[in-house]
């Protein structure tokens, strides 16, 4: 397996300097040198065969040699809107979502979240999640790095201007609101998949989402753990749309 680097801005016209963390990895961990061959992606969809042009302590640069194939992106632009979980459980969610091909990740804080917006902001989790997304993308061969957005309250997310995005909220079957099985979902151009915290969405939240135009979607009768539900939900919708 070739070594892969995230090199924002890389292209065939000129060499590009690596971000600090990637440079560090190339020099100190892998001990690569000028002239070594690597793969590099720009995070926006292009993967290149590349040469290490300079590998000095302060500057590491890569020269793109030619475009190569990256893992294909899903034809549906899919965003995961996910309730932040306590501890580091959201780390795995971000890693898995990046592996499955999401275009973006929007953490939200919900009625049953065990962590608040202020704590999330203080804890530098956003930076950590973005690093995890980069490293997952490297492993799975994608050339797109999903952006992880700063957390929002569910209400603020629902109030956002997403008129042309199909909003899907993963719910457990309930008497209090109508829902549809995942298999019946039409294939949209872009979708947000909303996945709740441990204990799920409140009935109020489900109703607000429906009022904001979301479809409530079920995955069958077995209860899913909150940390596994995003991976299961993303896999299910991608399978239904022929995009896995």
DSSP assignment letter at 183: G
Binding of residue 125 to its own copies (CB under 8 A) = no
Which of residues 2, 72, 150, 213 is near its own copies by CB under 8 A?
Answer: 72
Binding of residue 103 to its own copies (CB under 8 A) = no
Question: To the nearest whole angstrom, how small is the minimum distance from the Cβ of residue 9 to its own copies?
Answer: 24
Structure tokens at 79: 């965003």
Q: Taking contact as CB under 8 A, which single stretch among the options 13-21, 81-89, 150-158, 230-238 is the one that binds its own copies? A: 230-238
Question: To the nearest whole angstrom, how small is the minimum distance from the Cβ of residue 242 to its own copies?
Answer: 6
* DSSP count for the chain of H helices, then E strands: 7, 13
* CB-based burial label for 141 (10 Å; 0-12, 13-18, 19+): middle
Q: Taking contact as CB under 8 A, which single stretch among the options 5-13, 14-22, 99-107, 152-160 is the one that binds its own copies? A: 99-107
Nearer to its own copies, 44 or 140 (CB): 140
- Going by C-alpha positions, the residue among 2, 87, 13 that lies closest to residue 36 is 2
Nearer to its own copies, 92 or 162 (CB): 92
Tokens 């965003």 correspond to: 79
- Asked if residues 168 and 237 have their Cβ atoms less than 8 Å apart, the reply is yes
What is the C-alpha separation between 73 and 57, in angstroms, rounded?
35
Question: To the nearest whole angstrom, how small is the minimum distance from the Cβ of residue 172 to its own copies?
Answer: 10
CA 234, distance to chain mean position in Å, is 11
Binding of residue 141 to its own copies (CB under 8 A) = yes
Structure tokens at 226: 């909150």
Strand-strand pairing, 104-109 and 147-148: parallel
Contact mark string toward its own copies, 177..216, x via CB under 8 A: ----xxx---------------------------------
Nearer to its own copies, 107 or 200 (CB): 200
Binding of residue 67 to its own copies (CB under 8 A) = no
Question: To the nearest whole angstrom, how small is the minimum distance from the Cβ of residue 25 to its own copies?
Answer: 19
Question: To the nearest whole angstrom, how small is the minimum distance from the Cβ of residue 193 to its own copies?
Answer: 13
Contacts of 67 (CB under 8 A, 6+ apart): 12, 46, 47, 48
What is the C-alpha separation between 12 and 65, in angstroms, rounded?
7
Contacts with its own copies by CB under 8 A lie at 71-72, 95-96, 99-101, 139-142, 181-183, 219-225, 228, 231-232, 235-236, 238-240, 242-244
């Amino acid at each position: 397996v070739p070594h892969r680097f995230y090199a924002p801005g890389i292209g065939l016209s000129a060499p590009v300097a690596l971000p600090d963390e990637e440079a560090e990895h190339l020099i100190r961990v892998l001990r690569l040198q000028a002239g070594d061959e690597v793969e590099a992606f720009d995070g926006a969809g292009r993967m290149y065969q590349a040469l290490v042009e300079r590998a000095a302590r302060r500057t590491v640069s890569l020269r793109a040699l030619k475009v190569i194939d990256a893992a294909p992106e899903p034809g549906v632009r899919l965003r995961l809107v996910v309730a932040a979980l306590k501890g580091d459980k959201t780390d795995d969610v971000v890693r898995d979502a990046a592996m499955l091909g999401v275009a973006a990740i929007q953490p939200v804080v919900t009625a049953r979240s065990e962590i608040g917006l202020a704590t999330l902001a203080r804890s530098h989790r956003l930076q950590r999640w973005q690093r995890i997304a980069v490293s997952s993308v490297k492993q799975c061969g994608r050339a797109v790095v999903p952006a992880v957005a700063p957390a929002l309250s569910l209400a603020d997310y629902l109030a956002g201007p997403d008129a042309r995005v199909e909003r899907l909220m993963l719910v457990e079957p309930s008497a209090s609101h109508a829902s549809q099985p995942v298999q019946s979902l039409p294939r949209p151009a872009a979708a947000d998949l909303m996945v709740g915290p441990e204990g799920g969405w409140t009935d109020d939240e489900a109703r607000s989402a429906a009022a904001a135009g979301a479809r409530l979607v079920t995955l069958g009768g077995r209860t899913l753990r909150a940390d596994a539900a995003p991976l299961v939900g993303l896999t299910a919708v991608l399978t239904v749309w022929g995009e896995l």
